[in-house]
Amino acid sequence: MELEQFLKLISLNISQKVMKAKLVFLSTCIMLLVVNHNHSFGQASGGVGFFTPGIYTIQYSKLNSSLPAGYPQITNKPFVTAGAGYGIFSNIVFGGEGGTMHAGSFTQGNQKVDLTGDFGFFSLGYVVFNSKGLLMYPLVSIGGNDLKMYIHQKDQTASFGAITGEPFQAATLHYKSKMLKFSVAGLYTVQGSKSEKGSAGLMIGMEAGYQIAYKTGVWTYDNGSVSDGPDFNNNAFFVQLMIGGGGVMRK
């Protein structure tokens, strides 16, 4: 038992060091982008808005190991659909993003688990490149996730007596966590006006980065609290498409 606890402690310390290394790497990349900003690109001002579908590499192994025997395993990487809007003033980017996570439905025997979630972030960034329709900016975002796990029987038809006799045959578990995101986004105006003075019209692009929980999440179910929820986190790399438009002028 002591050896097992010792190995778990070593594994935890290694995981924490790897996580810190990832944060240092991402923060360094963002700082280098800002420091190396070429002021010949001028001061950008304007606004943009997007539909942002994407993929997050959240790992569910700890969550799966906490489910009783007979329950299905969660295997999908969640697909997200979101909307984002940003204002730009003197190269400073500010705005927010909100959306829904779709991990899917999983079935084993008569047990079914539906996994979804919601998230929202406030973001600050800085334009490091703005020329002829191409716009690039790093972002730091703060917000939260609400993971929703609906556990129920596959057969949804039941008698009144069966439902009242087994009131816990279905439940919705929530895992709410406070998150930070570090990312870099790039946009290109594919249709509209593009010049040295600015660009406006239809834009497409991509945002990629890493999200990490800065505070331990809390498990709840329906209207109650969970005292021994699994040690789970939403830390993940992500990539999202950006489809939308707007206008950004350069002074």
Task: Give the pLDDT score at 74.
Answer: 85
Q: What pLDDT does 16 receive?
A: 52
- Structural contact between residues 135 and 127, judged by C-beta atoms closer than 8 angstroms: yes
Dihedral pair phi/psi, residue 125, rounded to 5°: -155, -175
pTM over 0.85: no
The count of C-alpha atoms lying within 13 angstroms of the C-alpha of 12, restricted to the half-sphere facing its C-beta, is 8
Q: State CA 58 to chain mean position distance.
A: 9
pLDDT at 92: 93
From the centroid of its chain, how far is CA 140? Answer: 13
Q: Residue 152: what are its φ and ψ, rounded to 5°?
A: -160, 175
Residues whose CB is less than 8 angstroms from the CB of residue 232 and which lie 6 or more positions away in sequence, other chains included: 60, 62, 63, 66, 175, 217
pLDDT of residue 231: 79
- pLDDT for 7 equals 45
Q: For position 160, what pLDDT does the model report?
A: 72
Residues of the chain with confidence (pLDDT) below 70:
1-41, 155-156, 162-169
What domains, with CATH codes, occur in the chain?
39-250 (2.40.160.20)
Rounded to whole angstroms, how far apart are CA atoms 139 and 130?
A: 15
**pLDDT computed for residue 169 by the predictor:** 67
Cβ-based burial of 62 (10 A; exposed 0-12, middle 13-18, buried ≥19): exposed
Can you give the pLDDT at residue 171?
Answer: 81
